Amino acid sequence: MEPIIAVMLMLGCDDAMMVCRENPEPVRHYASVEACENEIETRVREIDGYPVAVAKCLPVEGAATGERVAIDWQFDPTGGLLAEARIDDTKPMTVGGELQMASAERF
């Protein structure tokens, strides 16, 4: 497995940046933060259906291809995007034998 050094968080937001949603496409993995940043401008143009698109490259320590990566994000009071990526070692929750997906975490 190749190491993953960075992932790209992509958000689509309303004009006021009050409501933002993560892009439904799978998170892209990159071999370096620089490689990720080289694609930001192109990838942001691909986000459809939102007046404002935001992307940020995040380093991930110790992740390899095939591992799940969780991204925690929020906007600070000045509108700056705060985000952090980490290996997601949590197991999906089950209820009555059915697989249930946990909601995304925010900090």
Residue 105 lies in a domain: no
| SS (HEC) of the chain | CCEEEEEEEEEEECCCCCCEEECCCCCCEECCHHHHHHHHHHHHHCCCCCCEEEEEEEEEEEEECCCCEEEEEEECCCCCEEEEEEECCCCCEEECCEEECCCCCCC
* Residue 12 clears pLDDT 90, i.e. is over it: yes
Quick one: pLDDT at residue 15? 93
Residue 28 lies in a domain: yes
**pLDDT tens for each residue of 53-105:** 999 999 998 877 677 888 999 999 998 999 999 888 775 544 444 433 333 43
pTM, to two decimals: 0.74
Residue 106 lies in a domain: no
State what percent of residues in the chain have pLDDT above 90. 47
Higher-pLDDT residue of 106, 44:
44
User: How far, CA to CA in Å, does 36 sit from each of 51, 91, 94?
Assistant: 23, 28, 35
Residue 74 lies in a domain: yes
Residue 96 lies in a domain: yes
Residues 24 and 11: their CA atoms lie apart, in Å, by 9
Quick one: pLDDT at residue 102? 39
- Number of domains composing the chain: 1
Residue 90 lies in a domain: yes
If you average pLDDT over every residue of the chain, what do you get? 81
Quick one: pLDDT at residue 6? 92
State what percent of residues in the chain have pLDDT above 70. 79
Quick one: pLDDT at residue 1? 53
Residue 92 lies in a domain: yes
Domain residues for the domain of 77 are: 3-100
Residue 61 lies in a domain: yes
